[in-house]
A and B are shown apart, each in its own frame.
Chain A
Amino acid sequence: MSEKYYFYPRWIRVWHTLNAILCLMLIVSGISLQYSDTDAPVINFQAAIGIHNFAGVALTFNYMIFFVGNLLTENGRNYLMRRKGLRDRLWKQLRYYAYGFFRGEKAPFPVGKERKFNPLQQISYVIVMYAAIPLLFLTGWALLFPEFILKKFLGFSGIFLSAQLHIAMGFLVSVFLVIHLYVSTMGRTPLSNFRSMIDGWQEAH
């Protein structure tokens, strides 16, 4: 029996559950809006607008839990990256996922008290949580209140540019989600990481 760590305190689990539900709602309704079609509607356009607006606003408030929580608690430390040797560490982890993992090698950055995320997890969480999601809800709010957007920028309308940025970030988060879900199945057993997101405890692997 390996060691157990209490990785996910209640506030993280609450935040993360809400976050996951809202993100899924946003992705599905967002795709439905972007690819809205007269013949094959994924969701009725008006309903999709309603869902998307509601979930976007809720996500923004939920994000504040994450942001403030990480400022106030130790958990924020997990999101600090050292630049030195970053590339080597990322490469090592990537090599492990692509090769060593199958050979039954030991993980190069085993999780433990000092380290909750491996370097790849860390960089993807930082990009998504501190760049993509903030950009998403900022541009989202801007589209909700377009009268505050710059009228023109580089010859394009501000609304248009905000929308493109919004779509690009939404896509990035969707890709992240696929990888995130998959990598989460690479715990001790395929389901163990999901269990830890429910009860908070994770076993070392």
Chain B
Amino acid sequence: MKLKTGPGYLILLLLVPLLFLYAFNLPVVQEADDPQELIVKGAENNPFSEENETCLRCHGEQKYELTDPVTGMVVRRPMSGSYYIDRDVFYQSVHWSFACLDCHLADYGEYPHALSLRFEPPYNCLDCHGYDETYARYKFEDIETEHLKSAHYTQTNGEFSCWNCHNPHSYQVLAREGKDIFEVVRNSNNMCLVCHGDPFKFGLVSDIEPTEIISTHNWLPNQRLHFKAVRCIDCHTEINDSLLVSHNMRPAEEAVKGCVSCHSSNSILMGTLYKYEAKESRREYGFVNSAIIRNNSYVIGANRSKLMNYGSLLIFGLTLGAVLVHTFFRIRFSKKHHNE
């Protein structure tokens, strides 16, 4: 190669100031700073788990056994997918500590289940959580107000309930737990896609056909990356400052479409996806919207290093200044030479 002496050490030279910059912004290892009481979930800690087996021996299996009371004959019948409950998932959900019969009438203990049971309306979230000090921080009442205004509720004549998104047997708190942002995004988006991506489930609440999510969002470049990094609700709900998770789903026309809504220093993401982090993060890394960086994302336009911002302004100013001073002397001295 021709460049025997040059580039090698020059590149190193260039990297030194960069390393310096990074060192400046390097996060100190984060000690667990949330004093959240340690709840260990799981079947073994649920006092009702044995009792629940009276239901799960059927609802927790792909096939359930039926015995003919007269002949004693046993058959194995498939449990329909929508009635199937995964034990592992249930015992990790928010209602992991429950007995099935806390929410379902005791008469379900018998099979075939009585006809009258089917007419019992299920509990609402508010029946248990409404106006309860323990859950005040979630603001269930405000969430319900928002939900009642949402396109889901109004466009389905009120058939759309909280349970349609919050699966009673699997929902886990996501954003508030400060989990990995990509996991939060994936699980939140799954809450929508299980229905918008499944004509059968969609058909349970609507008579129209669901549209293809991928193709209706083709205008978004790097769609795969975006769907991994932002939630559907970040674009589709109206921001509510008092709620961690806005619940007012707007009609599609009102969705966020402008890139700069997110890709700018006053990114809406700080009020939506990164709201929890933005509130909690006590360390600044010298970056605008540093909560995004904490989460291993990088949003063009929304993440600027303040140090680099001021540094670059300074260097640029000095360069222009030097050019101006030099020009000034050039003009002065060239006049002088001419006069001589």
Contacts and interface: CB of A to CB of B under 8 A. Distances in A.
A126 B4 CA distance: 12
B2 A36 contact: no
A70 B330 CA distance: 34
B123 interface: no
B308 A168 contact: yes
Nearest to A177: B319
Contacts of A146: 222, 225
Contact of A164 (B21, B296, B320, B323): B21
A82 B2 contact: no
Contacts of B320: 178
A79 B6 contact: yes
Q: What class of interface size applies to chain B in its complex with A?
A: 35 or more
Contacts of B156: none
B266 interface: yes
Contacts of A71: 2
A102 B330 contact: yes
Contacts of A161: 22
B10 A126 contact: yes
A38 interface: yes
A34 B298 contact: no
A131 B296 contact: no
Interface string A148-184: 0001101111011101110110011011001100100
A103 B327 CA distance: 14
Interface stretch (B39-47, B72-80, B191-199, B257-265): B257-265
B298 A45 contact: no
Given A171-B312, A178-B323, A159 B301 contact: no
Interface in A122-162: 123, 126-127, 130-132, 135, 146-147, 151-152, 154-157, 159-161
A103 B21 CA distance: 40
Contacts of A168: 17-18, 21, 308
Interface string B2-15: 11111100110010
B5 A37 contact: no
A41 B266 CA distance: 13
Contacts of B300: 33-34, 36, 163
Nearest to A99: B329
A85 B337 CA distance: 33
Contact of B319 (A132, A151, A164, A175): A175
A101 B323 CA distance: 14
The interface residues of chain A, by DSSP majority, are classed as helix
A87 interface: no
B27 interface: yes
A83 B330 CA distance: 32
Contacts of B261: 38
Contacts of B263: 33, 36, 45
Contact of B2 (A33, A45, A70, A151): A70
Interface string B37-81: 000000000000000000000000000000000000000000000
Contacts of A147: 225
Nearest to A70: B2
A79 B327 CA distance: 28
Interface in B220-248: 221-222, 225
Nearest to A176: B319
Given A130-B6, A131-B10, A37 B298 contact: no
Nearest to B296: A157
B315 A127 contact: no
B298 A102 contact: no
Interface in B263-322: 263-266, 293, 296-298, 300-301, 303-305, 308, 312, 315-316, 319-320
Contact of A37 (B6, B26, B264, B326): B264
B200 interface: no
B108 interface: no
B52 to A, nearest CB: 39
B337 A156 contact: no
A70 B6 CA distance: 15
Contact of B293 (A38, A126, A154, A160): A160
A76 interface: yes
Given A79-B3, A131-B14, A135-B14, 18 more contacts: A33-B301, A34-B301, A36-B259, A38-B258, A80-B3, A123-B10, A126-B6, A130-B10, A131-B7, A152-B296, A154-B26, A157-B298, A167-B308, A171-B308, A178-B316, A179-B319, A179-B323, A182-B323
